[in-house]
Chain A
């Protein structure tokens, strides 16, 4: 018995005894009526189960379950996204093969996605084994980029010089060189122009300069462009010749002569422009453009440093949780007015019900 029970039982001892002595037992007919009800069947429905769960108890269970589920999802996400290098390399190989096929079929422009950022580790499959070769007899723009890791800064200087020599030995040239060193690391960015006919060999040699860590290839079919330029050139030449012939042979009024002369000048200008474009396209088709990035071992290590698999997993899991938090915050901001309204409605209903009960009890 609680302290307050004891208090009122002591304070109002006689009154409590009298109250308990009042004849208040249920009459026999009520007892029989209740007995006649018997025992209810107990088919348990989902609604009954839900009613059994109080919101406090549900919250106590649901909140940790949600947190645990979110944390598990973040960990799984982190693990899955931190260990996919070999798959990505294989995907790179597949893409290269696709590029080759596209180029061979001569179906316009085909470009591989940039894989450099996604592939900090050495490629499992050397690119030279799958590098697409230009198709003889077709005009193709051939652009590629290659990131090669070398041991140290000294090797970096040496390999940069060797890349330059290689470009020359294959009949090409170095369009630009940008070499920089910082602390223990360094990087050389070279743009090499190599004749398309020898690009495969050049690529093979360039890949040997170190460990290939990233590659990118773009092949653009220029055959149709060259053909259309040539057709236009022929058309313009014919037009110019005809206008010249007309001006020479027939006596014409001054205004017609002037108009034809202007037409011939315009055709000549266009011919010069199309011829220039044609030369540029042919140059593009004859010389491939290779962007070579040589990076020293330490620079690569710095990039790789602090990014072990566990750390990558932790970073991914963290970003996943941050994303989930952002979504939750967004939902909370959007839903909060509704929550306030629902709370106000619930409090209002409760207050009304209490007042109604008080009124009914006072009137009873």
Chain B
């Protein structure tokens, strides 16, 4: 993981040395976007949610405690909540729309692009893509990812292993 090279601030009373928000945002922006892209499977949505995530993080930055985890894990937690809220509101919106316009097909932007790996990724579930993003792309360790996802470490490694196997099988099928 890339170290956050930033000016540190000291909190009176708690004596916690914390990186500055702007330094964290600069270094973790790509990671958060990558995670949201994998989680949502939609580039436009991922961009919106990335902005929203950092706005939320900006508001609650005072509550970030570096002793409890890395800024990346903390931001991923916020990103995940933001994404889940988005899914929830999308679900409500879809339900409303289905009620009044059943036959109107929904236009969806292609998720990852035209490649084989991108197509295979699109066929994974959001939960599988999420664990792949956190473990493989963001290179967070098992216990941290388990904490972000709210599951056990074993469940986390099982989910990752299953996702990668599925992905590999799909890629093998494409090659064959």
Partner-B contacts on A (CB < 8 A) = 2, 4-5, 8, 11-12, 15-16, 18-20, 22-27, 29-31, 33-35, 37-40, 42-45, 48-49, 51-52, 54, 353-354, 357-358, 360-364
A12 touches B142 (CB 8 A): no
Partner-A contacts on B (CB < 8 A) = 9, 11-14, 20-22, 25-26, 29-30, 32-34, 37-41, 47, 50-51, 54-55, 58-59, 61-63, 65, 68, 84, 87-88, 91, 112-113, 117-118, 125-127, 130, 132, 135-137, 139, 141-142, 150, 157, 160-161, 164, 167-168, 171
A24 touches B135 (CB 8 A): no
A8 touches B160 (CB 8 A): yes
A34 touches B141 (CB 8 A): no
- Least Cβ distance of A231 to chain B in Å? 82
| A interface: dominant SS | helix
Taken together as a complex, chains A and B put the C-alpha atoms of A147 and B29 apart, in Å, by 88
A22 touches B117 (CB 8 A): yes
B25: which of A5, A37, A354, A361 is its contact (CB, 8 Å)? A37
B26 touches A2 (CB 8 A): no
B130: which of A25, A27, A37, A361 is its contact (CB, 8 Å)? A361
Taken together as a complex, chains A and B put the C-alpha atoms of A26 and B40 apart, in Å, by 14
Contacts of A23 in B (CB 8 A): 113
A19 touches B125 (CB 8 A): no
Query: From B54, which residue of chain A is reached at the shortest CB distance?
Result: A34
Contacts of A42 in B (CB 8 A): 9, 11, 61-62
- Least Cβ distance of A223 to chain B in Å? 73
How many A-B pairs with Cβ below 8 Å?
Answer: 128
Taken together as a complex, chains A and B put the C-alpha atoms of A360 and B130 apart, in Å, by 13
Taken together as a complex, chains A and B put the C-alpha atoms of A22 and B132 apart, in Å, by 13
A20: which of B47, B68, B137, B164 is its contact (CB, 8 Å)? B137
Taken together as a complex, chains A and B put the C-alpha atoms of A16 and B171 apart, in Å, by 12
Greatest chain A CB density within 10 A among B38, B55, B126 is at B126
Taken together as a complex, chains A and B put the C-alpha atoms of A5 and B20 apart, in Å, by 29
A25 touches B30 (CB 8 A): yes
B167 touches A49 (CB 8 A): no
- Least Cβ distance of B132 to chain A in Å? 7
Taken together as a complex, chains A and B put the C-alpha atoms of A158 and B32 apart, in Å, by 100
Taken together as a complex, chains A and B put the C-alpha atoms of A11 and B160 apart, in Å, by 12
A30 touches B87 (CB 8 A): no
B117 touches A364 (CB 8 A): no
Greatest chain A CB density within 10 A among B22, B62, B142 is at B62
B141 touches A5 (CB 8 A): yes
Contacts of B157 in A (CB 8 A): 4
- Least Cβ distance of B57 to chain A in Å? 9
Known: A35-B26, A37-B55, A354-B150. A24 touches B130 (CB 8 A): no
Write 22 A-B pairs (CB below 8 A) sorted by A numbering: A5-B139, A8-B136, A15-B171, A18-B117, A20-B137, A24-B37, A25-B33, A30-B33, A34-B29, A34-B51, A37-B22, A39-B20, A40-B61, A40-B62, A44-B13, A48-B62, A52-B14, A52-B63, A361-B125, A361-B127, A363-B87, A364-B39
Contacts of B68 in A (CB 8 A): 54
- Least Cβ distance of B80 to chain A in Å? 9
